[in-house]
Amino acid sequence: PLPNTGIGSVILESPYYGHRKPRRQRGPKLQCVSDLLSLGNATIEETISILRYFNAHGHGPLGICGFSMGGVHAIMTAGVCNLPVALVTFLAPQCAAPVFCQGALSASCDWDALSRHSSSINWNEWNCEDEDVKHRLGRILRITDVTRLPPPPCPWATILIQAKEDAYIDRRSEEVIRSSWRDYWKAFPPTYEYLSSEDYGVETRWVCGGHVTSFFNQHHTFRLALRTAMQRMVTEEVADAHYSEC
């Protein structure tokens, strides 16, 4: 268990789930597209508030992790929180658009309802007035693309975990994310001289399994990655670098 290694955890219950589920919502399915965007924005803002609270009270080092959609929120939070944080993501996609528009969750979308209500939306704002409803939804969900935001501030303490047989997430997501971060660092290079990798220490670990089976069968892999990332934040060499550069 993580507490036995000196790592404490705060688990944020996502909006629209558990005790935070609206009364009108049945089960885990969101009723509106806007609910998904509100969920993400609230999760990011709340996570930043928690991080700032612990940082202000002298706790650290700090880290963020998340599974699937939570991994997307963790990446986004790390990029905008303006704090040195470790980052570990479990099976996080680059963006929600492919999952809902072409992937495994496309069958759960009420496309008829979206088509009926699409007439009330000013699609000119999205430059997609001539596209069908799936393309229109895809345009909106590109807001969730993690490559739209800066990369994590501490790449040496960033670990991405992906599943080899994941049917929810395109395997190319991982490379797209890392390629975007590399391009960012080429334009705005950090001065971490002890890091020779072009990815500045970002690591990807692949596990055997699918999206759901990995969640149940790879707990040890997830815990190991969390311990590794946090340990990298406290080494003397890294500590000097991230407090001066992040």
Cα 110 from chain centre: 25
pLDDT for 242: 41
The CATH number that domain 2-95+145-245 falls under is: 3.40.50.1820
pLDDT for 131: 54
Q: Which residue has the tokens 């997430």?
A: 169
Q: Measured between alpha carbons, how far is 238 from 94 in angstroms, rounded to an integer?
A: 27
Whether residue 85 contacts residue 51, with contact meaning beta carbons closer than 8 Å, is answered with yes
Q: Domain segments of the chain: what residues?
A: 2-95+145-245, 106-144
pLDDT for 105: 79
pLDDT for 81: 95
For the chain, residues with pLDDT lower than 70 are 117-131, 190-199, 236-246
User: What are the structure tokens assigned to 157, written together?
Assistant: 């303490």
